[in-house]
Amino acid sequence: MNAFTDELFSLDGRIALVTGASSGLGKRMALALARAGAKVVLVARRRALVDEALKEFGKHGCEAAAVPFDLMELEELSALHEKASAAFGSPDILVNAAGINLRDSPNDITLASWNQTITLNLSVPFFLARACVPAMRKAGIGNIINIASLQSFRAFANGMAYGASKGGIAQLTRAMAEAWSADGIVANAIAPGFFPTELTSAVFADDELAALHASRTAVGRNGQLDDLEGATVFLASRAARYITGQILPVDGGYTAK
């Protein structure tokens, strides 16, 4: 980078907390932040996977720490903030990447599966962000990145609970901006298209279905994990300090057609 771009996009001196960081979108977003200079705390439920991710970050020369944690324990999210802060200090970047998509038909949704989806996809981002906000406010800087979805804008079959949670994320992101941006804390969301992850394994296991979704994009292909890196670093950086409450589709133009 030259001095100008470094000033805009470097994350040197920043501290990021990323949930869902052991695999998929969360892991790739966390790695992008780390390679841009941030110290990153990786949070995920499965200890073996988050420890393996930590080793990978070390191979890239990145500073990272792992905190295995079950995010469904909402009452413990303040404790999660404390554990995450023990590694490098209080995070001033939060990426709420953990999520679930059970793909139940409306008749198969149970109260338990509904609550699981809403809790992990919508409640956790709010309560964890609220736990991080006091330190961000004191520092005068904070970047919150939520994960929205194509289903924040439109419906898909067997996506009622997931779609409700992601529609909620879009509005939650705007509400976070309204509540906290006057204190220097910007809140935005990335809305990915179809990327190969655990959540979309059913799509990519069906070649015809994967090809159908690729054909619905403007660029003619589904996403690759490195397609998320630029948007992630941008929304975490000084370059995005006057952007808040926005949903950025990273979908190859799926929502444009």
What is the residue type of 8?
L
Which residues in 79-222 belong to E strands, given as ranges?
A: 93-96, 142-147, 185-192
CB within 8 Å of 197: residues ≥ 6 apart: 23, 24, 25
CB within 8 Å of 12: residues ≥ 6 apart: 37, 38
Are residues 184 and 141 in contact, defined by beta-carbon separation less than 8 angstroms? yes
Active-site residue 242, yes or no? no
Neighbours of 4 (CB within 10 A): 8
Q: Is 184 helix (H, G, I), strand (E, B) or coil?
A: coil
Catalytic residue among 162, 194, 195, 254: 162
CB within 8 Å of 66: residues ≥ 6 apart: 41, 42, 44, 50, 51, 53, 54
CB within 8 Å of 180: residues ≥ 6 apart: 133, 136, 137, 142, 144, 187
- Spatial distance between the Cα atoms of 29 and 190, rounded to a whole number of angstroms: 11
Cα Rg of the chain, angstroms? 17
Which of the residues are catalytic?
Answer: 162
